[in-house]
Structure 1
Amino acid sequence: MTRNVGNIDRVIRVIIGVALLSLLFVLEGNLRWIGLIGLVPLLTALVGNCPLYSLVGLSTCPLRTRSSK
């Protein structure tokens, strides 16, 4: 698995993930379980790879160049 999620994208995903998970504690009834969707951006930020980005061919990760010897 190659990394395709850059650092800024990862921070944004963590913020969104935590905000969605907070719905578990803020909302009442069955609607609160929507907050579990927050696990998806948290996991993709943790792993550094987004499967949707891979399908589309997108990457927010900066290119790494090899140094020649």
Structure 2
Amino acid sequence: MKRNVGKVERLFRALGGLMLVTCAVLAPLPLAIRVATFGVLGAYLLFSALAGSCLGYALMGRSTCPLEPGR
């Protein structure tokens, strides 16, 4: 998949993903609810931050990644 997430946004996605995964571990809710809400979203944000691509952006044709010179 083509990269469509810029560096600053990748940083914020990683931080948000870490916070959501932390909430999935520490929240005083039943395990199924924690995993279904915080865990899944946190894992997706971490994956998209590491991969540099977002499925939603690809479907919308959007990109926050600056164009590289020579491309």
Runs ≥4 in structure 1, deviation > 6 angstroms?
none
Alpha-carbon distance in 2 for matches of 1:51, 1:25: 26
SS in 2 for 1:54: helix
Q: State the AA in 2 paired with 1:56.
A: M
The equivalent residue for 1:15 is 15
What TM-score, normalized to structure 2?
0.83
Q: Which runs of 5+ in 2 are unaligned?
A: none
Higher relative contact order (CA 8 A, sep 6+): 2
Alpha-carbon distance in 1 for matches of 2:54, 2:67: 16
Deviation at 1:64, TM superposition (A): 1.3
**CA-to-partner distance for each residue in 1:6-35, whole Å, 9 max, x for gaps?**
000100100110010011222122432222
Question: Rg bigger for which structure?
Answer: 1
Q: Which runs of 5+ in 1 are unaligned?
A: none
> Aligned Cα RMSD in Å?
1.5
**CA-to-partner distance for each residue in 1:14-67, whole Å, 9 max, x for gaps?**
011001001122212243222212000100011111011011111010011218
The match for 1:41 among 45, 52, 67 is 45
Q: Give aligned-pair identity as a percent.
A: 36
Equivalenced residue count is 67
Alpha-carbon distance in 1 for matches of 2:38, 2:22: 7
What TM-score, normalized to structure 1?
0.85
